[in-house]
């Protein structure tokens, strides 16, 4: 290349960058009349001169692997040029609005976002708070996802604050910046009369907990425990990649979504009255927190850059989600909060859920990861329950098998923690990208120093896990013997709604299932008497296996009599207990695993 050309290129480059710097995107979100459940959005675009601009709404939000079609809630779009003339636009598909901007230097867009459901993956506003889930509120410009953006929230006058992981602009009230739309979509904003609990520092970095309607609980104890949880998670990877971290409780409800420097989740401290609920909440927060490593930074190659148009599918959610369940238990245990018995029980719960789901014979962990977009996050329910599994259940169980195997192969010198650290250093820190399936498998084998082909079959096939073999490496027994319970068993439950009674749940291949009973059917009579939950319980507890009960169902406007031959329930308990005389390596592995 000749010098002259280089100069021309440098000139062109600086011209283009200075041109690019002139463009700006600034949003204002107004929350007036929140009882109408609308966000009023204004976007001012400066310096983007084009014949037309395609504005797009993501169809999903990373972390929640379901198509949400946020664009369907966008209403009353209006585009105006710098002279105040209205610009024409057309919708070119479900989530694209093409505005014929005719080379205007300034365009103002206004629209409304209708909000329907208060949920962690949907925007929502009412009289009490506004939850701005960015993927459902902010349009991006096609092919300009990397453009910086400014956000200003105008709160309902009765509200006092905003919680978000975004950087704020000092001197400007409730105004924030994001370097690009990936960061914007990763940073929800919660507005309202929020409560902030005392912040804490880990390795000099501030962690905050802010929320709406936090409930009635011991705040001091909770923050002490949360701090220990965060510390235990940080100790696994050994590095904190963010400048600050915010836990954002969006109010009572289910679900949580992880982000790079924050997490948003349903939270109700009033539920902490039982230890079980408290531990569940800490597990859940540990899960969302650990995700800032596992999935946000230690990630499958497909999960970044995100495809906001189609969704980003990967076969490795069993790592991102399944192993985050694994680590939620480990982190809370290593934080010194749960007992070892509680830790075993947590794993046992997942094993029982997985082993009792017939889908285990049909779907692999990889398939469950890939198919979650159509199956739903917990596998299918209803009649199709027998075809799918949940990586939230099999994932942590397989994580355990890998961990014990690596420890056994390396004389307890290495563990699953080393695999996570390897992935973090190699792909996030050095290569700044995600890993492929092959690279993931290699990472496991590099750490183990040996082939893990046998264990990998638990990921790629439906081979039944040999739990006792792996648990024995850590000097643990696990009861996988099928137990037969003496009581009569029907395998279905009822639910009463107003005057009617419905089938609530039917266990696969139970006597009820085999008689053709399915969830949602209306039950009218049991043995000739008016059906009720109490009557069913009374009849079953007075019966023995082999007895028959008659159920009158009402299906498609006709009554139908079904005879059920009661059976006996069989179950594997997966009870985990330490062996009485562990050898030195077994002892070391168990201690190493529990202490980290
Ligand atoms: Zn998760």
Would you list the DSSP string of 391-428? Answer: HHHHHHHHHHHHHHHHHHHTTTS--HHHHHHHHIIIII
- pTM of this structure: 0.91
Q: What's the 335 CA to ligand 1 centre distance in angstroms?
A: 20
Q: Listing from the earlier edge strand, what are the strands of the sheet with 205-211?
A: 195-202, 205-211, 244-249, 262-265, 256-258
Q: What's the 311 CA to ligand 1 centre distance in angstroms?
A: 17
Q: What's the 168 CA to ligand 1 centre distance in angstroms?
A: 27
Q: What's the 284 CA to ligand 1 centre distance in angstroms?
A: 9
- Residues, CB-to-ion distance under 5 Å, ligand 1: 321, 324
Q: What's the 287 CA to ligand 1 centre distance in angstroms?
A: 6
Whether 100 and 51 have beta carbons less than 8 Å apart is answered as: yes
User: What is the pLDDT tens value at each position of the chain, 596 positions in all?
Assistant: 545 565 555 555 555 554 445 899 999 999 999 999 999 999 999 999 999 999 999 999 999 999 999 999 999 999 999 999 999 999 999 999 999 999 999 999 999 999 999 999 999 999 999 999 999 999 999 999 999 999 999 999 999 999 999 999 999 999 999 999 999 999 999 999 999 999 999 999 999 999 999 999 999 999 999 999 999 999 999 999 999 999 999 999 999 999 999 999 999 999 999 999 999 999 999 999 999 999 999 999 999 999 999 999 999 999 999 999 999 999 999 999 999 999 999 999 999 999 988 899 999 999 999 999 988 877 776 667 678 999 999 999 999 999 999 999 999 999 999 999 999 999 999 999 999 999 999 999 999 999 999 999 999 999 999 999 999 999 999 999 999 988 999 999 999 988 899 999 888 889 999 999 998 999 999 999 999 999 999 999 999 999 999 999 998 889 999 999 999 999 899 999 999 999 999 999 999 999 98
Q: Counting Cβ atoms within 10 Å, is residue 171 exposed (0-12), middle (13-18) or buried (19+)?
A: exposed
Gap between the Cα atoms of 417 and 575, Å rounded: 25
Gap between the Cα atoms of 545 and 548, Å rounded: 9
Q: What's the 482 CA to ligand 1 centre distance in angstroms?
A: 31
Which helix (DSSP H) or strand (DSSP E) does residue 352 occupy? helix 340-355
Gap between the Cα atoms of 139 and 130, Å rounded: 18
Q: What's the 222 CA to ligand 1 centre distance in angstroms?
A: 21
Write down the residue that tokens 């979504």 correspond to: 257
- Range 51-83 burial, b when 16+ CB lie within 10 A, else e: eebbbbbbbbbbbbbbebebbebbeebebbbee
Gap between the Cα atoms of 139 and 157, Å rounded: 26
Q: What's the 189 CA to ligand 1 centre distance in angstroms?
A: 20
- Range 518-528 burial, b when 16+ CB lie within 10 A, else e: ebebebbbbee
Q: What's the 205 CA to ligand 1 centre distance in angstroms?
A: 23
Q: What's the 368 CA to ligand 1 centre distance in angstroms?
A: 14
- Provide φ and ψ at 67, rounded to 5°: -75, 125
60: left (phi over 0), alpha (psi -120 to 50) or beta: beta
Q: What's the 372 CA to ligand 1 centre distance in angstroms?
A: 13
Q: What's the 528 CA to ligand 1 centre distance in angstroms?
A: 47
Quick one: tokens of 174? 């409730």
Q: What's the 71 CA to ligand 1 centre distance in angstroms?
A: 25
Gap between the Cα atoms of 174 and 152, Å rounded: 6
Q: What's the 306 CA to ligand 1 centre distance in angstroms?
A: 17
Q: What is the DSSP string of 103-115?
A: T-SEEEEEEEEE-
Q: What's the 321 CA to ligand 1 centre distance in angstroms?
A: 5
Q: What's the 241 CA to ligand 1 centre distance in angstroms?
A: 19
Q: What's the 390 CA to ligand 1 centre distance in angstroms?
A: 12
Q: What's the 512 CA to ligand 1 centre distance in angstroms?
A: 34
Report the candidate in 459, 375, 423, 314 with the shortest Cα–Cα distance to residue 67.
Answer: 375
């Amino acid at each position: 290349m000749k010098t002259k050309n280089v100069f021309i290129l440098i000139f062109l480059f600086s011209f283009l960058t200075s041109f690019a710097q002139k463009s700006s995107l600034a949003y204002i979100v107004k929350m007036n009349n929140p009882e109408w459940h609308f966000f009023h959005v204004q976007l001012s675009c400066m310096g983007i001169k084009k014949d037309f601009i395609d504005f797009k709404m993501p169809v999903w939000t990373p972390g929640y692997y379901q198509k949400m079609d946020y664009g369907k809630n966008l209403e009353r779009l209006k585009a105006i040029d710098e002279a105040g003339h209205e610009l024409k636009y057309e919708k070119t598909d479900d989530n694209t609005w093409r505005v014929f901007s005719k080379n205007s230097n300034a365009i103002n867009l206004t629209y409304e976002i209708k909000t329907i459901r208060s949920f962690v993956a949907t925007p929502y506003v009412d009289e009490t708070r506004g939850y701005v889930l960015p993927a459902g509120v902010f349009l991006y410009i096609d092919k300009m996802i990397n453009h910086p953006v400014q956000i200003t929230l105008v709160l309902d006058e009765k509200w006092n604050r905003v919680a978000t992981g975004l950087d704020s602009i000092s001197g400007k009230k409730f105004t924030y910046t994001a370097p690009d739309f990936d960061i914007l979509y990763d940073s929800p904003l919660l507005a309202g009369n929020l409560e902030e609990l005392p912040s804490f520092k880990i390795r000099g970095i501030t962690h905050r907990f802010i929320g709406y309607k936090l409930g009635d609980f011991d705040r001091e104890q909770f923050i002490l425990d949360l701090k220990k949880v965060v510390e235990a998670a940080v100790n696994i990877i050994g590095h904190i990649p963010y400048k600050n971290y915010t836990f954002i409780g969006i109010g009572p409800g289910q679900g949580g979504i992880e982000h790079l420097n924050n997490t948003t989740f349903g939270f109700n401290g009033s539920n902490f009255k039982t230890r079980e609920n408290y531990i569940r909440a800490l597990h859940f927060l540990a899960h969302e927190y650990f995700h800032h490593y596992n999935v946000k930074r230690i990630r499958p190659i497909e999960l970044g850059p995100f495809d906001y148009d189609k969704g980003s599918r990967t076969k490795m959610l069993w790592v991102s989600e399944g192993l985050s369940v694994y680590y939620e238990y480990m982190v809370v245990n290593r934080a010194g909060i749960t007992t070892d018995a509680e830790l075993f029980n947590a794993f046992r719960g997942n094993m029982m859920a997985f082993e009792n789901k017939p889908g285990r014979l049909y779907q692999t962990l990889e398939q469950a990861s890939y198919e979650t977009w159509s199956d739903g996050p917990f596998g299918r329910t209803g009649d199709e329950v027998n075809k799918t599994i949940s990586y939230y259940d099999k994932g942590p169980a397989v994580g355990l098998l890998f961990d014990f195997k690596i420890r056994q192969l390396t004389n307890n010198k290495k563990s699953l923690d080393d695999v996570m650290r390897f992935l973090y250093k190699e792909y996030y820190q050095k290569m700044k990208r995600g890993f492929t399936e092959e690279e993931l498998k290699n990472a496991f084998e590099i750490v183990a120093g040996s082939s893990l082909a046998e264990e990998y079959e638990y990921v790629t096939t439906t081979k039944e896990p040999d739990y006792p073999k792996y648990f024995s490496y850590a000097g643990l027994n696990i009861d996988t013997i099928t137990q037969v319970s003496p009581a009569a068993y029907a395998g279905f439950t009822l639910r009463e709604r107003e005057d009617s009674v419905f089938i609530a749940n039917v266990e696969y291949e139970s006597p009820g299932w085999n008689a053709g009973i399915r969830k949602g059917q209306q039950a009218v009579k049991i043995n000739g008497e008016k059906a009720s939950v109490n009557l069913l319980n009374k009849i079953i507890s007075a019966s023995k296996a082999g007895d028959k009960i008659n159920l009158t169902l009402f299906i498609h406007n006709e009554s139908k009599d079904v005879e059920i031959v009661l059976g006996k329930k069989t179950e594997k308990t997966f009870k985990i207990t330490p062996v009485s005389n562990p050898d030195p390596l077994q002892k070391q592995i168990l201690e190493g695993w529990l202490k980290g």
